[in-house]
Amino acid sequence: MIRAVKGTRDILPPDSAAWNHLESVARRVFRSYRYGEIRTPILEETQLFARGVGQETDIVTKEMYTFDDRDGTSLTLRPEATASVIRAYLEHRLDQRPGVQKLYYLGPMFRRERPQKGRYRQFYQIGAEAIGSESPAVDAEVIEMVIDLLRQAGLQGFTLLLNSVGCPVCRPRYIQELRRELDKVSEQMCLDCQRRALTNPLRVLDCKVEADQPIIDRLPSILDHLCETCRTHFALVRRYLEERDIAYELRPRLVRGLDYYMRTTFEVVHGALGAQNSVLGGGRYDGLAESLGSRIPAPGIGFSIGEDRLVMALEGAWSDPLDVFIAPLGEAAAGQAARLARPLRERGFSVETGSEARLKRALELANKLGARFALIVGDDEIASERYTLKNMQSGEQAALPLDAIIERLKT
């Protein structure tokens, strides 16, 4: 028997209803902040991610799905979307449009990670990018939008983590000091950290190996090495968040896993996800366009939500109940049930029509399906045009005409 490829999965009803709910909430929130949807290809030239994400990141060195096309071009299934969005921004000269370009996306990404709870090789992201401004006010608004989205989706008990990773002026000096300190301790750390200490010291701070954390905690803090511009920028981001009553925790070790981040970085974590507890992450990437070879500056900030993990964290916070189960008792009632279902569906109610002629078994099925109401349609009901509406939770029932049934369902 052929099964789904390792690290991928089928999303089936009723679980898919939770995904649809989350995506509809996201679209509603994005619209309220004036973001428009962008859809980029799943395939991109490999160099886009190698140059944008970073040659020494785990994504590029270990996780990308890369292959040669028939013409010899190296292609990669997108492991993330920000580089693709910036490529589209530059290619289509969106910088010529007025104001900050606010774009959002939803869709699958691909990384050959070790499958674990909430992490898959084909996974889904919901993300947004605000491109064309260096203002810390834009940073604060993007983070505010993230918090709005999570709250409207029904997530509670999450924590916002915040940091600044400096800029090309101050970060090299910090990395130089970090490298000196790592020279003293890297041999005590995991093999990945020993490699990163030589190739990309900042990535050491992103290590998730528990035994390395006490060593990492003693390393220099980047917040002590920010230049005046970065220090002012970060202070304003924090002030704007506090003015919005958005709580956060400072995390000087928060660097994220991608090389293009600079200045503001942030992450949201949730206890329901275990050790790998990140729901989303983001940050500012003012130099990404230049790293892709562009002479057009495209300062921006964005985030991506791990949709698989957020749906897991929301488990139990949202459900998609069946509004009405119509129980037709006999052949004549089956036709009438279909005629009753139409106006109910037109008004937005979810309706299931049964095929069991015996009332007891029809009500048992309605109960198993989690129906809020059962609508019983028999010969007497058809003759009187008053149909028995039963509240499946309380057991209360009444014979009502269709208009009254609709009003009852509304309330």
Domains of the chain: 15-170+226-313 (3.30.930.10), 322-410 (3.40.50.800)
**What are the C-alpha distances in Å from 313 to residues 113, 122, 271?**
20, 19, 8
**What is the pLDDT, as a whole number, of residue 272?**
57
State yes or no: pLDDT of 351 exceeds 80. yes
Question: Distance between CA atoms of 303 and 3, rounded to whole angstroms?
Answer: 33
Q: Is 327 helix (H, G, I), strand (E, B) or coil?
A: strand
pLDDT tens by residue, 63-85? 888 989 999 999 999 999 999 99
**What is the pLDDT, as a whole number, of residue 92?**
94
* Beta carbons of 111 and 278 less than 8 angstroms apart: no
State yes or no: pLDDT of 7 exceeds 70. yes
235 Cβ neighbours under 8 A, 6+ residues apart: none
pTM: 0.83
Task: Please give the average per-residue pLDDT across 42-53, as a whole number.
Answer: 85
Task: Please give the average per-residue pLDDT across 363-387, as a whole number.
Answer: 88
* Beta carbons of 66 and 110 less than 8 angstroms apart: no
Q: What is the CA radius of gyration of the chain?
A: 27
**What is the pLDDT, as a whole number, of residue 193?**
85
Query: Comparing 382 with 301, which gets the higher pLDDT?
Result: 301
* Beta carbons of 202 and 175 less than 8 angstroms apart: yes
Sequence letter at residue 65: Y
State yes or no: pLDDT of 220 exceeds 70. yes
- Give the number of other CB atoms < 10 A from CB of residue 378: 18
Question: Distance between CA atoms of 308 and 330, rounded to whole angstroms?
Answer: 44
Place of tokens 């009901």: 381
- CA geometry: angle at 370 spanning 367 and 373, to 5°? 75
Place of tokens 């499958």: 115
Question: Distance between CA atoms of 63 and 56, rounded to whole angstroms?
Answer: 12
Question: Distance between CA atoms of 268 and 109, rounded to whole angstroms?
Answer: 20
State yes or no: pLDDT of 287 exceeds 70. yes
The strands making up 397-400's β-sheet, listed across from edge to edge, are: 351-353, 322-328, 371-377, 387-391, 397-400
State yes or no: pLDDT of 145 exceeds 90. yes
